[in-house]
């Protein structure tokens, strides 16, 4: 993966890497040690005890083996700490996503994924809204990845090493939009998304990827942000889960990320009269 910093950010080059290259880039040192510590403290607190039982995905084998509790999710992060609003709307991420997904892109989810020591890896997969392409008949004919319907940002809160279970991916697989199968030899072909706390991997969610087993003695936690074009239905209903005061006081960037600037679906029978779309 190519490495960028906020000072060397090149949106056009990053878009080319995501579409035509390996499908992922690293933004080195995007977040400070203080921001990482603040986010990590929330993730640890919210994923202990009874709070650990939350919906998760691509963990069928772990559930069958009785190990699903070794991977823990924390959802609705915007309501759990101010640091997550800053992460979601970081200027570097906003710049890259505007170039990749259009100027009015939205956020579909912001959550944490914590993999404890001994935690098993995930099933190789692709991300929302492509994530159920294991049921291809449920998607439109000729769906393809010639333009993106998803971008992911993985913000590392712990070291991402091969031992801790750094995300594996098969470079270039975003070009062939389909769900990976066992015959694709994912584990023979994969590379790893390696980095240190504060680093962020941006990748096209159509690339085959998965969390790998944590064989270390420490946690491997990350913030996972899903960005979408404005017209894709978000995965998380974030406005409904947030306090009214948060929504009312949200910054312009956060209002965009929450989808509040895009009016559809709308009750058009009750909408203001006049020409709402088209050239002036």
- Domains recognised in the chain with CATH numbers: 2-270 (2.60.120.620)
pLDDT score, position 55: 52
How many residues does the structure list for the chain? Answer: 280
Strand 151-156 versus strand 200-203 pairing type: antiparallel
**Residues 24/169, Cβ–Cβ less than 8 Å:** yes
- Cα gap 178→130, rounded to integer Å: 8
Tally of CB atoms within 10 A around 236: 18
According to the model, what pLDDT value does residue 279 have? 84
- Strands across the sheet containing 151-156: 2-4, 24-27, 200-203, 151-156, 220-228, 106-115, 71-74
Indicate the pairing of strand 2-4 with strand 24-27: parallel
Backbone angles phi, psi at 202, to 5 degrees: -105, 125
Burial of 69 from C-beta contacts in 10 A (0-12 / 13-18 / 19+): middle
Mean pLDDT (10-residue bins), the chain, 280 residues? 96 98 98 98 88 60 68 92 97 98 97 92 93 94 96 98 97 96 95 98 97 95 97 93 93 96 89 85
Does the global pTM surpass 0.85?
A: yes
């Amino acid at each position: 993966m190519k490495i960028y910093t906020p000072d060397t950010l090149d949106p056009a080059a990053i878009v080319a890497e995501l579409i035509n290259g390996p499908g992922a880039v690293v933004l080195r040192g995007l977040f400070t040690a203080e921001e990482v510590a603040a986010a990590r403290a929330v993730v640890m607190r919210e994923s202990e005890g009874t709070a650990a039982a939350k919906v998760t995905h691509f963990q069928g084998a772990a559930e069958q083996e009785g190990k699903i509790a070794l991977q823990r999710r924390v959802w609705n992060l915007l309501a759990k700490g101010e640091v997550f609003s800053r992460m979601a709307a970081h200027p570097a991420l906003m710049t890259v996503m505007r170039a990749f997904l259009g100027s009015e892109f939205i956020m579909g989810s912001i959550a944490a994924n914590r993999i404890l020591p001994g935690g098993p890896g995930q099933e190789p997969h692709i991300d929302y809204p492509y994530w159920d392409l294991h049921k291809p008949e449920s998607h439109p004919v000729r769906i393809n990845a010639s333009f993106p319907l998803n971008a992911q940002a993985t913000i590392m809160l712990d070291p991402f090493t091969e031992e801790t279970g750094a995300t594996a991916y098969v470079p270039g697989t975003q070009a062939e939009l389909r769900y990976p199968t066992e015959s694709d030899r994912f584990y023979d072909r994969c590379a790893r998304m390696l980095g240190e706390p504060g680093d962020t991997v941006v990748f096209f969610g159509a690339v085959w990827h998965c969390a790998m087993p944590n064989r270390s003695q420490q946690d491997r936690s990350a913030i996972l942000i899903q960005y979408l074009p404005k017209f894709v239905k978000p995965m998380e209903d974030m406005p409904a889960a947030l306090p009214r005061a948060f929504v009312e006081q949200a910054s312009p960037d956060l209002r965009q990320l929450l989808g509040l600037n895009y009016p559809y679906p709308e009750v058009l029978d009750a909408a203001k009269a006049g020409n709402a779309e088209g050239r002036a």
